[in-house]
Structure 1
Amino acid sequence: MVDIKAAGRYTLGAGQVNRMGYGAMQLAGPGVFGPPKDPAMARRVLQTAVEAGVDHIDTADFYGPHVTNQLIREALHPYPDQLHIVTKVSARRDENGGWLPALSPEELTRAVEDNLKNLGLDALDVVNLRSMIDAHGPAEGSLEGPWTTLLELKARGLIRHLGLSNVTATQVREAQKSGEVACVQNQYNLALRHDDALIDELAAQNIPYVPFFPLGGFTPLQSDALDEVAARLEATPMQVALAWLLQRAPNLLLIPGTSSLKHLEENLDAANLLLPHSELAVLDRIGADETRGSE
């Protein structure tokens, strides 16, 4: 059994979680739409993750839709007391699997109710409001309307803590004027470093930052330098990329996803990989080179 405790723990909501968590997105069918090819394996992956010490699972009811939440309930309910399930709202799927904004008060309320029903919960531990101003990345613009709706649902006891996803630093500060931000979830990885300043700003406030697509997402990380470091350390490139995130800042909580037991074990084992300073310097240059290339 893999031991993930070496990566340490960090605050999430009212408690703390192991910094190596699990993202459930890949448990749905192709394109995060429809059921998986092997639902029994999907449930086994979830059970194995929790058995290994994962106490932070990231999901959304628009994965499938409904599929991943139903699998989580089937595999893990009644939930262990220490398990934190984090979900997100603001999108819906059309009949072809397209991603559409769903930010009206009625749509957000329905999304929270659907999460509660499909997960089998009376209250959601953490709900992230995902900005849909630009579905492909953070874009400036006020989120006051949907944030206010979620604060009202929180006041009703349906949500314990609120976070943000796909947002800018300005939007985080705007939300903090009216309510506590429990976490921020943006795209960030070894090659995509645009949130460096935001990560440090949140760390100073003891707020966790949860990078989605920590391994590149639908376009997996590819780098000769990464491959060479992995070979020297006798690890996989993806393990090195995850270990780099764990050493980047103490407030990073990881949620790598997979539908494979083998890949799950490899991902979790990255918690035990300590990168030497010399290799960190090599890896840091990957992000710097990618940033310069995009300018």
Structure 2
Amino acid sequence: MTVASGTFRIGGEIGVRRLGFGAMRLPNEHGAPREASIAVLRRAVELGVTLIDTAFMYGWGANEELLAEALYPYPEDVLIATKVAIEQSAPGAEAQINGRPEFLRDQVEQALRRLRTERIELLQMHRLDPKVPLADQLGVLRELQDDGKIGHIGLSEVTVDELAEARRTVDVASVQNRYNLLDREHESVLDACAAAGIAFLPWRPVHPAASADTAEIAAVAAELDATAAQIALAWLLARSPVVVPIPGTASIAHLEENVAAGGLRLSDEQWRRLDGIGAR
């Protein structure tokens, strides 16, 4: 199984390398932590990462501002993806899902301002709001897409049925569900994405495989002179050509380790051994 990281075209249009970067773990506070976060983001771009994932929920907008500070003006080949539909009613309050069209419209406008851009190429629903008709939630995003403020629309943490229903209203370019070598809960969603050519962005792509005391992962890692985290990413990349993992880290060393996983080659036999772990 000689699968390199390669590229994938989001929405059939925007080519990205199949190892992205999730910005959630980056510290946003000012001072040394922020400078370190900026260094990680810039190093990711230097290493060829072309998809960076953020969200309003990550620091309640501060993470988006961090990306803009680090990377604006954005390189032409870098796709910044962000997410909406989560709110914090008051400082310190728990996050709440909000899919009301007027709220989503305002969140998109605020994200455009924080990211210093006139168009968000990949705008994702962080969660669907069960209290609001799905057609209303996605309808406002389609209007913003028609206005040129959104390029492509994605979903997060959806079922196969929700994905099918959403596709009756908009063209879905990506799905971001939790999925990794040891957590296959959304296997059927990945299969649906693969069948439709929709990008599948697994969040938490490395944990818990990187820390699990699993003899098979350790054995394959030793055979390839790699880390457990790299093996977990290599398995994901080989799982389907629509998979675009977005591992996150606040460490340049871990970032470089993750990116290097794109060059690993699992043999058919190694992939089957790893695949069998999650099937047990």
- The answer, yes or no, to whether TM exceeds 0.5 is yes
Unaligned runs of 5+ in 1: 135-140, 290-295
Query: Aligned residues: percent identity?
Result: 38
1:292 equivalent in structure 2: none
CA distance in structure 2 between the partners assigned to 1:189 and 1:133 by the alignment: 25
| Contact 2:4-2:262 within 8 A present in 1 as well | yes
Q: 1:98 to 1:170 in 2, by over 3 A?
A: same
The residue that corresponds to 1:120 in the other structure is 116
Aligned twin of 2:91 = 95
Deviation at 1:147, TM superposition (A): 1.2
Q: Which residue of 2 aligns with 1:272?
A: 263
1:54 match: 49
Structure-2 residue corresponding to 1:138: none
Where in structure 2 are the equivalents of 1:160-239 lying within 5 Å? 160-216=151-207, 221-225=211-215, 226-239=217-230
**Which residue is 1:11 aligned to?**
9
Give the partner amino acid of 1:236. T
2:79 to 59, 63, 84: 84
| CA shift digits 1:4-28 (9 cap, x unpaired) | x941011113221110111110113
SS for the counterpart of 1:38 is helix
Corresponding position of 1:259: 250
Displacement after TM superposition at 1:95 (Å) = 1.5
Alpha carbons of structure 1 residues 220 and 231: separation in structure 2 relative to 1, 3 Å: closer
Q: CA deviation at 1:251?
A: 0.6
Change (3 A) 1:24 1:173: same
- Paired positions, count: 275
Compared with structure 1, are the counterparts of its residues 200 and 35 closer, same or farther at alpha carbon in structure 2 (3 Å cutoff)? farther
Distance 1:162 1:223, change over 3 A: same
Q: What corresponds to 2:60 in structure 1?
A: 65
Distance in 2 (alpha carbons) for counterparts of 1:237 and 1:243? 10
Q: Which residue of 1 aligns with 2:26?
A: 27
Which stretch of structure 1 is more off in the superposition, 18-27 or 277-286? 277-286
The amino acid that maps onto 2:26 is L
Distance in structure 2 (CA, Å) of the matches to 1:220 and 1:243: 12
What is the alpha-carbon distance in structure 2 between the residues aligned to residue 28 and residue 133 of structure 1? 28
Structure 1 residue matching 2:124: 3-state secondary structure: strand
Choose which of 238, 247, 252 in structure 1 pairs with 2:238. 247
**Kept in 2: contact 1:185–1:209 (CA 8 A):** yes
Cα root mean square deviation, aligned: 2.3
- 2:212 counterpart letter in structure 1: Q
Distance in 1 (CA, whole Å) between partners of 2:162 and 2:264 is 34
Amino acid at match of 2:7: R
Deviates more, 1:75-84 or 1:279-288: 279-288
Question: CA–CA distance in 2 between the matches of 1:65 and 1:221?
Answer: 29
